[in-house]
Amino acid sequence: MPIAIKDAWVKKLAGVTLSDIKLTTFQNRHKQEAYKGKLLFTHVGISGPTVLHMSKEVGELLKYGEVTIALDLFPGVDHTILKSQLQALLIAEINKKIKNVLGKLVPSSLVPVLLRLAAIENETPNHSVRSESRKKLVILFKHTPLSVEKLLGADKAIVSSGGVNLKEVNFKTMESRLVPRLYLVGDMLNIDRPSGGYSLQLCWTTGFVAGEHC
């Protein structure tokens, strides 16, 4: 299911997609699971294949308390390298304003958000960005916190697990073992799978087998 996020800034990014990001779940500051992939911001929170895939775990964690998701914009790059990349960018464009150059490092739609979260004034010239502010930016590049509000309801969900017990289905024909002439395919079957391609394959193949036998 898509995930509703408490932070108001997320809603301003509705429609923006980010590729090659990492999302890590935290509960009571303890790291839980990490997921790499794509992210889609929506008008209530976050969605996209990676989020749909992780939402089951987030739903479980929510039963035990608050959940935070850390967004890492540069999963393959560590803090030290990012610090020098940021420093090099600010020096190369020393007389420009930070709001006009940060987009060379991060997606431009995120620039105002990151500056606000780092408490850096948009109009600040690059030569005046303090060391403390640069440090905050680098931390945000690797760990922008998203506070989970809830999972969105079943009407917004995409099935990726749950359904009829596989022991009750004859896979040679897709006929129910309990109810003769009832054929079970696709989302009806309890096959746990990541979102993003497998479900279509599942409904096509099981639909084909059922179609051949019913």
Ligand X SMILES: Cc1cc2nc3c(=O)[nH]c(=O)nc-3n(C[C@H](O)[C@H](O)[C@H](O)COP(=O)(O)OP(=O)(O)OC[C@H]3O[C@@H](n4cnc5c(N)ncnc54)[C@H](O)[C@@H]3O)c2cc1C
Instruction: List for the chain the helix, strand, coil content (%; round to 5).
Output: 40, 25, 35
- Within 10 angstroms of residue 35's Cβ, the number of other Cβ atoms is 18
Torsion-angle region of 176 (φ positive above 0: left; ψ -120 to 50: alpha; else: beta): beta
Tokens of 90: 């600010």
Provide the minimum distance between the beta carbon of 150 and ligand X in the complex, in angstroms, as a whole number.
19
Q: Which is nearer to ligand X, 145 or 162 (CB)?
A: 162
Q: Which is nearer to ligand X, 112 or 196 (CB)?
A: 196
Q: Which is nearer to ligand X, 156 or 177 (CB)?
A: 156
Provide the minimum distance between the beta carbon of 86 and ligand X in the complex, in angstroms, as a whole number.
35
Provide the minimum distance between the beta carbon of 21 and ligand X in the complex, in angstroms, as a whole number.
18
Provide the minimum distance between the beta carbon of 49 and ligand X in the complex, in angstroms, as a whole number.
7
Binding site for ligand X (CB under 6 A): 158-159, 185-187, 196-200, 203
Burial class (CB in 10 A: 0-12, 13-18, 19+), 137: buried
Residue 57 near residue 67, CB atoms below 8 Å:
no
What span, in angstroms and rounded, lies between the C-alpha atoms of 120 and 138?
13
Q: Which is nearer to ligand X, 103 or 197 (CB)?
A: 197
What span, in angstroms and rounded, lies between the C-alpha atoms of 125 and 1?
42
Q: Which is nearer to ligand X, 2 or 90 (CB)?
A: 2
Q: Which amino acid does the sequence have at 74?
A: F
Provide the minimum distance between the beta carbon of 124 and ligand X in the complex, in angstroms, as a whole number.
41
Nearest residue to ligand X, scored by beta-carbon proximity: 186
